[in-house]
Structure 1
Amino acid sequence: MDLRQDLRSTVGDLLPELKDLLKQLVAIPSIAFPDYPKENVQRAHDLIADELRKSGVGDIQVLNLPDTSPVIYARIPPPPGAPTVLLYGHYDVQPSGDESLWNTPPFTPTEQDGAIYGRGAADCKSNVVAHIGALRAYGGKPPVGVTLVIEGQEEFGSGFDDYPAEKPELFQADALLICDAGNIRAGAPTLVTALRGVADVFVEVRTLATPVHSGQFGGAAPDALLALMAGLATLHDAEGNVAVEGLRRDKWTGANYTDEEFAEITGMAPGMPLLGTGPIGERIWYGPAITVIGLDAPPVKTAASAVIPYAKAYLNVRVHPEQDPAEGQRAVIEHLKKVKPYGIELTVTGGDVGSGFAAGTTGPAYAAMREAMGKAWNTEVVDSAMGGSIPLTNSMATANPAAEVIMIGAEDSNCNMHGFNERVLLSELANVALAEAEFFQLFANRMRK
């Protein structure tokens, strides 16, 4: 029987049970943030472990680290001469936010128009279910060795972020499938090849001991908020491009959004212009971004007629995937220290940093996955990137320097992950499971040559 047609029909037959499993998982509010019930995280862990056993995985362990939700660690030995593939995902989810802003209850999975709505449906429970589907397509005996790593605290962060680099012997594989990404648009199979790095910068200014009357002293008394705003305004040019020397930006040659598509995805107000110039992919994936994500200043509702003595801003800096985020952080700090708006010195300090990632794309695993995804979606595969980060990627790569790292997933740009009305398309879930199953055989064939 033709392998491709056999797998396609097999995964198609599995879809009803995969859909039911995804609904069961979405119904569990497995939020690993502080002050949320830990038993819900444990419930999600236990359900996945049970489903893996039903899928033929016999060696299932738990990695228990301090202050970290339990990590599922499971293994299927490789057939003789076959490579090993590590499958990664996470079962924890973001908090739901204001539930009144959801069209359907966030933890009541709702199937509508070919999609399942609910918190975690896309990020990342659908990808965990896709792993299970790929294993079941082979009756639990895939043509490659498999190591499964399903963690439960990715959204909040934990000590597991650095653990693979500390215990590399547990994570050895020929290819790492980091399934916490997705397609640039629904129906467009996408290999994510890069992640931007991130750094935090804090800017503050104090000009007076206390607020003073704006009518009596305004116009000469140094205004801390005005000075802060003037300093922040130098971070970008008149068109919105980042204007800090030392932040890397390169040409982007992969898939791109159109202006109209980007406006729709981000919910831009009608007539609102985009920031910056050049291809959108270059701006959001292969160049820097500086966003003011917090501001300490008197709120409008309680504001008094006074010159502000103190103000502080929190900047989120995104850097090119191959730039050291600490280097990018230093560039922003040095820029702001030199500015001195109105002769007022700004106090600038750095916070956390997280490295970006650029994947190698010329090895046999990438070739096999490109072919597998093309077969699953029956269309051309494109390359894309992510402006966000997947904390574990660099640690996994450090533990496995010879392995190819492949980032895929069932999400798409309209899935609303981390937002209200999160959803995953069942067609994307089925295609990820099929592509993964196809990949197992294609990669095994290539490695045996």
Structure 2
Amino acid sequence: MAACRQRSCWSQLPRDLLSCIAQHLDSRLHVLRFRAVCSSWRSSVPLPPKSPSFPKQLGSRGNYPTRKGIPSFLISRMNVYRICRPGFEAASDQKFWFIKVEETKEPNKFKVLSPFSRHPIKSMPPSFPKELNLLSFCVEETVSAFSIRQRREDPDTDVDDHNPLIRKITFASDFISSRSAVVISRGNLWRVTSDGNGNPWNKFNSNIKFRDIANFDGKFVTVDLYGIISERDENTFSLEEVRSTLDQTASECERYFVESCGHLYLVVRDLYICSDQVYYYPKIDGFIKETGDDPVPVKFRVYKRIPCSGDEQNEYDWVEVTDLSDQVFFVSTDCSFSFSTQDSKGCHGNCIIYVDEITDVEHLENKERYEEDDDNNELWHLKNGRVGLFNLADQSSGSLALFPEYLAMFWPPPTWLMGDQASSSS
């Protein structure tokens, strides 16, 4: 006991040691939590620099300085956090829950979004806390993405729902100085600048239909409808490398980039196996299912970006992988990410959770809106069986509702998040 009393208090750690520890923290959230331990730690480590301020307004496509009623856009940051239950250090079956939030114009105020879409969840359970004290949990930022919403004509009103014509927006790493981003809109690739000079929208090749874009290793990496991968310098936007399609048969497929464990992956939903049922429809920049009750078969392939060996024309190669170890990939148009199941009882890796975004042709032809329910459709994909799980090992798939251990990671909110420790100020 005497030896225990003589141990140095955590607050008495040397400043140089604290600074060394802080240098190994890999996110702004971790630095803030580190500084929140005590005044000694807070004074030893400076506040991390803030990322670009959001939400941010962006002009419309086209230069209309005198016309009224031309919409502008509001860009907001979406973050997905993994929250672990209290006492996670001693838990042999660690439980965690993913929450997706969007920044608002008010500081430290967020909207809770559906994990499967960009829709804000308006009908959260009554016991869901209004505030979360992040010091009460282990919180990890899983991915940071962006939404782009069209503003109403009245600037004092709230913004409309997300713009369905905008598929993806990604910013340059030095956005503060370059003020530039890349947007995929209706399949077209646009460079967008917000320096206030001239038309902020500049289109690249309009004959190519792009499906996803990632900012990785100082480059904008894009993939098109047929699987051709291009890499551009994020500052000059000069084309540095083009990789021909990875598919044996170049076909129209859904494609997503996923970052995992420091590597970039391409996840391909193979629609060639159901080309008689599903086709790409440029007008909506999406895939349409022909009329019929036959289920669409599901198949995914995964490719990993690796450095080339020898004197290759390309600097990087893409190789197909069939084993993701303990990793699970989550893919959707809104955001994609990976997470480990190593500490989660009942869940195994090497699988893909996906949002089925294929549109039924009858809804398109009749211009029908899906029937609204009590929560205004924000969980429509989940409630209609459009969120699925694909096992890479045995190539099986099924609705996420058939895998309760995985479903519980996303919905509904866990009971341990509703306790007293979650109701204190954030």
TM-score by length of 2: 0.21
The structure with the largest alpha-carbon Rg is: 1
More helix by share: 1
More strand by share: 2
